[in-house]
A = this chain, B = another copy of it.
Amino acid sequence: MIELTAKPVIKTINQEILSFISNLSFAPRLNIIRINNDPASEYYVTNLVKKGEKIGINVDVINMPLDTDEKDVLQLIRRFNDDRNVNAIMIQKPLPGGFNEDILTGAIDPDKDVDGFHPVNMGKLLLEKDGLKPCTPLAVIETLRHYNITTRGKRVVIIGRSNIVGKPLAGLLLYKDLFGDATVTICHSRSEKLSDITKEADILIAATGKAEFVNKDMLKSNSIVIDVGINQIVRNGKTSYVGDVDFNSCSKIAQSITPVPGGIGTVTTAMLLKNVIKAVNIQNKVDIFD
């Protein structure tokens, strides 16, 4: 069994980013709006600021009080939309109760929407048009590409139909490309006889948000397993992170698996910074990344 680790994938991504930035006369800027005091979110943004620093991207975190009015957030988004020095805007989750995520996401200039969640960007993704795309689906494709796991003509099964992962990933896997052109099946909590379906997969992608949901009895032998999940669990009093795939069980059957941690999640963070560069490209209408 081969572990499809993030390390070499992000090395390549970072080299691409560095090489692009070396040709710029300015440092790209990502502004993160954060309205929570969630420790996981704190850890994530601190990590992002550090990674940005290393690579030449300014990551600014705007911490707003929990009792901030939605109107003030909208005003801030509009200010960043109009600010030429801000290339990318992100709203950190979770948001306090009462906020309308759709309204906030819809207010971001699609060309600065580094999460790729704006309806225009989702539509462009489905239509196979240039635009900013969600980072997790991009991370899956980038990982497959790095390990030269082509998907053309193969059966790819995605477990999970979320707006953030499952649905946009299905769209990317239908692109006319060697790392697209897949026969894509999307299953979910309502799917009947799930193991029958997952056993058809040459490539199985788990995006259920359920810890160690996929076990060896759900796999075809020698299949490739992509684990999108990161779940916090407590076992024997110890806190740890596991994926949506039961790694130990599946490693007996699968040809290769992405590990957790150190797999898709890690590549996703790198893709977010690559998306900042993509945003700069779109804003300058230079399309060297496509």
Contacts and interface: CB of A to CB of B under 8 A. Distances in A.
Interface in A166-202: 167-168, 170-171, 174, 181-188, 190-192, 197, 200
Interface string A121-159: 111111111010000000000000000000011110000
Assembly stoichiometry (copies): 2
A37 interface: no
B171 A167 contact: yes
A163 B176 CA distance: 13
Interface residues of A, number: 38
A197 B121 CA distance: 31
A170 B121 CA distance: 18
A216 interface: no
A186 B126 CA distance: 13
A174 B186 contact: yes
A220 interface: no
Nearest to A175: B161
A29 interface: no
Contact of A126 (B126, B153, B174, B197): B126
21 contacts: A102-B129, A119-B119, A119-B120, A119-B127, A121-B123, A122-B122, A122-B126, A123-B124, A123-B125, A126-B126, A126-B171, A128-B163, A153-B190, A153-B192, A154-B192, A182-B190, A183-B186, A183-B187, A183-B190, A183-B197, A185-B185
Interface of A: 102, 118-129, 131, 152-155, 161, 163, 167-168, 170-171, 174, 181-188, 190-192, 197, 200
